[in-house]
Structure 1
Amino acid sequence: MSGKDKRVKEIRNKLNELEKELKGTNATFFEDLRGYLITSSLFYEELDVTEQTYNVCVDLIEAQENGQTAQEYFGKDSRKLADSMIKNFKHASYREVIELILLPVGIYWAITFISNFATKGALKINILEYLLIALLSVGMIVIVFEAVHKSIYLSENNLLRKSKVIQFIIGTIFFSCIIGTFVAISVFTPPVWIVKFLYPSDVILMLTIIAIFLGWIIIGKKRELYSITPFIILMAAVGIAQRIPAVLTIVGANNIKFLAVGAAIIGFLINIVWGRILIKKMARK
């Protein structure tokens, strides 16, 4: 973890503790403001966004102690305040933007690679498929950030803000479309640029990528990615099993596909349950 990342984490922890002191409408005001600023920061310097958000919280607590509300101290239009702050944010460096883009791309590439590895036969990498997945994963992140950003200051009477059911339905439809698009890319991308790996080079490559990926998650304490590790391990295990003749004889060549589907379902279920538990813990903090 770089010095800047440590500084961001330190300020964020202080901010989380400080925010607990806000009461009533002040807490609501700051919660909306903070969410709006964070979801605008996709291409802004995270340290600058965190520091300025922290400063606003400090000022608001001081105002609260003097008997003022957030609306009295900052004005009734908190979105106007947020937009004025965003204009002054420092833009992220090209390196930070590239790292931000590579994170979702790398995750979806890893999932795609492991899924390809778990299929029967020689491991085949379709370069065009991976390029399309990279474009889709970046586009998905931008859309999600922008959608959450725009939804924060919707009017109180807006159905999207009022109804959890509508939020759930729209979210489900969106992510179903994303999953459907990923599947369509996987199934229909023409075999233009194919790289083939034969046994045992495919197993060695798989184990190397798994070790790097899991090492990066564990050593880097990427807790938000812990929930995806069971899926990765299970799918990799299926891929390795179907490439070992002795195991293939025991399981049966025709049963490997059922093993792969079962591993994928179990992995995703663990991911969903674990992810929900993690989100609840983060919310409590």
Structure 2
Amino acid sequence: MKQRKQETKRLIDENNQLRKQLNAENRHYYEDLLVYMRAHTLLRDDFIVEQDLLAILQDLIDAQQSGMNAQTYFGKDPERTGSEMLKAIPRNIADFAWFNLKLILMMFMIFWLPQLTRPVTKFDVGNLLIVAIISIVAVWGVEWIIGSYAFIHPTRMQTVAFYAGGGLLFVVIIGLLAFFKSSWEITLSSSTVLVITSLGLLVGIVLPFFHRLTGQDRILYFWSMFILLLGFLSRLPFLQRFMHAKIDLGAWQWLLYVGMVVVPVLFVLTVWWIRRRKK
């Protein structure tokens, strides 16, 4: 699986370089097709999709050198071309399951891991599952919307509705995390948290020697290591009182709550920006 993932990344990198050879008209045509196909690959084999996209690109470059444009060579309906190609690509349930598992792990790192720094660490399994399911469905929805509008320029109202819906979904997730409590709650003792954070830090120290961290991986890695370190220090007897001291900003206490919302938003935007730069 790792070798196939590396090959897929190589195909994407090669695609990014070769696209620079297209003129503006052909590049617009091809990139719309690229967005459409990549947005519809949740249940498809990414490697085969990237192989097909690269083959199309190479054919288009040859056609361009012969004086033909993309519409003449591939037709005026790129959506139909992409749809027919996707139908020929086999489904890959294993990659789909792994994709969703990674989303759940990411949710765990971002939202549950900070619980290890609290004086009393409670792990609400039901809360995490509901938030994870909503987040996974939301990602599917975003992928579907991106694919649906690959060849259509959305109106201003549709764009506003999309961002408003995303903002509302974010508020719902934060609300569930803050206020929803299920009966599937596990309370961890200080000694258990100390063991978990110690093992987590040990794995984190060794990990870079066995796995090359990319841009997004680095953000999650340093975020997790920072939280694990705080959790570890907060369980040391001589630091417990200091680490668990209540922050009282008086009239400016509201800034603390604003920061608790703004920081995760900035984190998500940073991950999105890094992914966009890579593409």
Q: With structure 2 as the length reference, what TM-score do the two structures score?
A: 0.83
Say which SS state the counterpart of residue 187 (structure 2) adopts. Answer: strand
RMSD between aligned alpha carbons?
3.2
Structure 1 18/210 Cα, relative in aligned 2: closer, same or farther at 3 Å? same
Q: Tell me if structure 1 keeps the 8 A contact 2:204–2:225.
A: no
Q: 2:190 aligns to what? A: 199
- Alignment counterpart, residue 186 of structure 1, candidates 155, 177, 194: 177
Deviation at 1:185, TM superposition (A): 2.1
Are residue 126 (structure 1) and residue 124 (structure 2) matched? yes
- Alignment counterpart, residue 221 of structure 1, candidates 194, 213, 216: 213
- Alignment counterpart, residue 159 of structure 1, candidates 142, 155, 158: 155
Deviation at 1:249, TM superposition (A): 3.2
Q: 2:137 aligns to what? A: 139
Matches within 5 A, 1:1-285: 2-92=2-92, 94-121=93-120, 123-154=121-152, 156=153, 158-160=154-156, 167=159, 169-170=160-161, 172-209=163-200, 212=203, 219-250=211-242, 253-255=245-247, 264=260, 268=264, 271=267, 274-275=270-271, 278-279=274-275, 281-283=277-279
Q: What amino acid does structure 2 have at the position aligned with 1:137?
A: S
CA distance in 1, matches of 2:140, 2:168: 15
Q: Deviations over 1:75-118 (max 9, x none)?
A: 111111111111111111x3222111101111102222213223
List gaps (5 residues or longer) in structure 2.
none
CA distance in 2, matches of 1:67, 1:50: 26
Tell me how many residue pairs correspond in the alignment: 274
List gaps (5 residues or longer) in structure 1.
none
> Please, which moves more after superposition, 3-12 or 94-103?
3-12
Q: Tell me if structure 2 keeps the 8 A contact 1:104–1:138.
A: yes
CA distance in 1, matches of 2:142, 2:126: 24
Say which SS state the counterpart of residue 246 (structure 1) adopts. Answer: coil
CA distance in 2, matches of 1:272, 1:97: 22
Deviation at 1:6, TM superposition (A): 2.2
Deviation at 1:64, TM superposition (A): 0.3
Identity %, equivalent residues: 15
Deviation at 1:202, TM superposition (A): 0.8
Q: Tell me if structure 1 keeps the 8 A contact 2:7–2:47.
A: yes
Q: Tell me if structure 2 keeps the 8 A contact 1:39–1:146.
A: yes
Q: With structure 1 as the length reference, what TM-score do the two structures score?
A: 0.82
Q: What amino acid does structure 2 have at the position aligned with 1:35?
A: V
Say which SS state the counterpart of residue 213 (structure 2) adopts. Answer: coil
Q: Tell me if structure 1 keeps the 8 A contact 2:108–2:128.
A: yes
CA distance in 2, matches of 1:234, 1:265: 18
Structure 1 185/211 Cα, relative in aligned 2: closer, same or farther at 3 Å? farther
Q: Tell me if structure 2 keeps the 8 A contact 1:228–1:271.
A: no
> Please, which moves more after superposition, 15-24 or 219-228?
219-228
Say which SS state the counterpart of residue 196 (structure 1) adopts. Answer: strand
CA distance in 2, matches of 1:177, 1:214: 38
Q: Deviations over 1:39-66 (max 9, x none)?
A: 1111100111001111110111111011
Deviation at 1:260, TM superposition (A): 8.3
CA distance in 2, matches of 1:236, 1:264: 18
